[in-house]
Chain A
Amino acid sequence: MDHSTSKSCTNANHDDKSLLHWTQWQLLDSVLPTGGFAHSFGLESALQSNLIKQPEDLKPFIIQVLDNTGSLLLPFVHTLNKSPDTETWTRLDNLLEATLTNEIARKASATQGSALLRVAASVFREITELKLIRERFIGSGLVFFHHACVFGLLTGLLGFDGRMAQRAYIFMTMRDVLSAATRLNVVGPIAASVLQHEIASAAEGIVEKWRDRNVEDACQTNPLLDTVQGCHAYLFSRLFCS
Chain B
Amino acid sequence: MAETETETTSGVVTVEKVRGRSTITRCFFKYPLKLILPKKVGSSQVDAVWIYALSYGGGIVSGDQISCKISVGDGCTASFTTQASTKVYKSVDSKCSEQVLEAIIGNEAFLALIPDPVTCFSTARYSQKQNFRIFSCSNLVVVDWITSGRYQSGERWDFTSYKSTNCIYLDNDRPIFIDSVLLEQSLVCDIAERMQCYQVIAMVILLGPKLKNLQNQIKEVVKKMMTVKLRPPTTNFGRYAKSEAQHDRFVPDLIASCSTFGPQGIGSVIRVTATTTEAVYAFLRTHLSSLEMFLGAPPYCQSGI
Contact = CB atoms under 8 A, between A and B. Distances in A.
Contacts of B40: none
A228 B177 CA distance: 20
Interface in B178-225: 178-184, 186-189, 193-196, 198, 201, 203, 222-223
Interface stretch (B8-16, B31-39, B267-275): B267-275
A48 B271 contact: no
A224 B227 CA distance: 18
Interface string B218-254: 0000110011011111000111010100110111100
6 contacts: A48-B233, A60-B193, A98-B175, A99-B178, A219-B163, A234-B222
B269 to A, nearest CB: 5
Contacts of B198: 224
A139 interface: no
Contacts of B229: 49
A221 B257 contact: no
Nearest to B223: A234
A103 B239 CA distance: 33
Interface stretch (B18-26, B49-57, B258-266, B294-302): B258-266
Interface string B148-183: 000000000000000101000000000111111111
Given A71-B182, A99-B179, A231 B232 contact: no
Nearest to B257: A230
Contact of A228 (B203, B257, B260): B257
A98 B271 contact: no
Contacts of B201: 223-224, 227
Interface string A178-190: 0000000111100
Main secondary structure of the interface of A (DSSP, over half): helix
B5 to A, nearest CB: 24
A45 B269 CA distance: 18
Contact of B165 (A98, A185, A219, A234): A219
Interface in A109-146: none
A164 interface: no
Nearest to A103: B259
A222 interface: yes
Given A95-B175, A231-B226, A51 B238 contact: no
Q: In which size bucket is the chain A interface?
A: 35 or more
Contact of B239 (A45, A55, A222, A231): A55
Interface residues of B, number: 54
A227 B186 CA distance: 21
A231 B237 contact: no
A21 interface: no
A51 B180 contact: no
Given A101-B269, A230-B258, A63 B189 contact: yes
B255 interface: yes
B282 interface: no
B250 to A, nearest CB: 7
A35 interface: no
Given A223-B201, A229-B257, 10 more contacts: A48-B230, A49-B230, A49-B255, A53-B247, A55-B239, A71-B182, A98-B177, A221-B183, A233-B223, A236-B227
A83 interface: no
B291 interface: no
Contacts of B187: 205
B180 A218 contact: yes
B182 A185 contact: no
B256 interface: yes
A67 B271 CA distance: 20
